[in-house]
Amino acid sequence: DSGVTQTPKHLITATGQRVTLRCSPRSGDLSVYWYQQSLDQGLQFLIHYYNGEERAKGNILERFSAQQFPDLHSELNLSSLELGDSALYFCASSVDPAGEETQYFGPGTRLLVL
């Protein structure tokens, strides 16, 4: 158990819908990262927040957005969902803002868009 929690574990929805994925980092970690993992691609970095502020963006679509709240939990919002958005979404946390400390991953949310 990494100490990072993600909800829900599984999510099934339809194209065009909007969903919210939630992540609680390890106690004491200020950085939260979001990744997407699909079958044909490896882990793709989406976005990084540190203590409520966006630090870096990766391959995140405009239909996707995220935020980190004062209690340090983070939410990833996916809208206008397409079939290709079906994937595992992982959250990771670390202590430092530059991510040079180890990132610890949560168990993931499996999203299926029908």
Partner 1 sequence: EDQVTQSPEALRLQEGESSSLNCSYTVSGLRGLFWYRQDPGKGPEFLFTLYSAGEEKEKERLKATLTKKESFLHITAPKPEDSATYLCAVQGGANNLFFGTGTRLTVIP
Alpha helices in 1-114 (DSSP H): none
| Residue of 41, 51, 77, 80 interacting with partner 1 (CB under 8 A) | 41
Q: Which helix (H) or strand (E) holds 68?
A: strand 64-68
Distance CA 48, CA 50 (A): 7
5-7 and 10-13 strand pairing: unpaired
Note whether 56 binds partner 1 by CB under 8 A. Answer: yes
Of 11-19, 20-28, 74-82, 106-114: span binding partner 1 (CB under 8 A): 106-114
Which positions lie near partner 1, rule CB under 8 A? 2, 4, 33, 41-45, 48, 55-56, 58, 88, 90, 92, 98-100, 102-108, 110
